Amino acid sequence: MESTTKKTPQRALHNRVNRRELKERMRQSDEQRVTLSYYKYARIEDPKAFRDQLFRQYQEIGVLGRIYVAQEGVNAQLSVPQENFEAFRSVMDGYDMFQNLRLNIAVEADGKSFFTLTIKVREKIVADGIDDPGFDPARTGTHLDAAAWNKLTNDPDTVVVDMRNHYESEVGHFENAITPDVATFRDELPYVADLLADARDKNILMYCTGGIRCEKASAYMKYRGFENVFQLEGGIIEYDRQVKAKGLENKFVGKNFVFDERLGERISPDVIAHCHQCGVPADTHVNCANSHCHILFIQCDTCAEQFHGCCSVACSDFIQLPEDVQKERAPSMVFNGSKFGKGAYKAFRKSAQTLKVDEGL
């Protein structure tokens, strides 16, 4: 494991304050922060030791966010205090693996995207379900910048594939892209390879939020015998930055779903999704205000007011009960989040009319 020469004091390696209090502190704060993400595939011999060191260093300079560390590398979404941004760069420069690292700065962010620092050790930084030792993750597709991407998407022999989950592509995607109706990346890999079995002579263009999933996806497609495989360098986040900086045509329609408190950043003014409760055009993802449900869904402003930010009448009625009554009844109740969860809420989406009748939505 690499280390830096900077010594940091021994501090708690986890958050000790209640999450609700931390969230409220962040909402009330006027501190200027920068939201960003990065990933790096690199060999880490001792992920636990690496995790502990990185936690201490980030905690020291006020970094918040969600980070996954594994032997294959690091995947991070962060919020950094503006006044400590140079200190953050100094920390990153202390690691050989982070040299010349691209930082994806968020498109729309007020810096309140995270309210805790969480670093977890995982088997992989992207769960891919691949266990074949013959798979070579380094044999990736050709990386394309925004200009090259736009040019190749105009080629009639090109197929564009969204390598994100269905709830991400529902609110925004590239023009004419294939958007698989899948809930997990591990499901999407074999699904896409099978779906495109008859398109091996085509240009296969793959994209995701920041590029990390396409590193695996493009390598997997080559592993499955596809040769003309390309991936969008830096994902949607970097594409949007280049389009604006260079005055290029924007071929992404709608919102880019992000995995922080914002749940989305607008790339184009188009609203292509619909409220999961009433069906009007809407693309605002929310988690049900009932903490015992917490299901992720799309809700318009009218329904947000009518249902008190909840996914159903049942949840709306529940959160208006006294807290002691909620605590007593919660263990015996089943909410939409108990049934579907984030990755499978498509059942909620597709069955919305039935649920309105059967469950009081």
Task: Encode pLDDT of 146-196 as tens digits.
Answer: 999 999 999 999 999 999 999 999 999 999 999 998 888 999 999 999 999
Mean pLDDT across the stretch 189-218? 94
Note the pTM of the prediction, 2 decimals. Answer: 0.79
Q: How confident is the model at residue 259 (pLDDT cuts 50, 70, 90)?
A: confident
Active site residue 208: yes
Catalytic pick among 208, 214, 288, 303: 208
CA separation, residue 42 to residues 97, 138, 250, 292, 341 (Å) = 7, 10, 32, 38, 32
- The pLDDT score that the predictor gives to residue 110 is 60
Does residue 22 register a pLDDT over 70?
Answer: no
What is the percentage of the chain residues whose pLDDT exceeds 90? Answer: 69
CA distance 222 to 134: 12
Q: What is the pLDDT of residues 305-360, one digit of tens each?
A: 999 999 999 999 999 999 999 999 999 999 988 877 665 555 455 544 434 433 43
Domains in the chain and their CATH numbers? 19-121 (3.30.70.100), 142-252 (3.40.250.10), 285-359 (no CATH)
- The DSSP code sequence of 298-309 is E--HHHHHHTTT
User: What is the rounded average pLDDT of the residues 298-307?
Assistant: 95
Q: What pLDDT shows up at residue 307?
A: 95
Taking residue 236's Cβ as centre, other Cβ atoms within 10 Å add up to 28
- Region 269-289: mean pLDDT is 93
User: Is the per-residue pLDDT at 253 higher than 70?
Assistant: yes
280, 271 contact by CB (below 8 A)? no
Tokens representing 233 are 């360098």
Beta bridge partners of 80: 34
Comparison of pLDDT for 358 and 75, the residue scoring more: 75
Contact 72, 137 (CB under 8 A): yes
Residues 356 and 317: their CA atoms lie apart, in Å, by 15
Q: Note the residue count of the chain.
A: 361
pLDDT, residue 44, reads 94
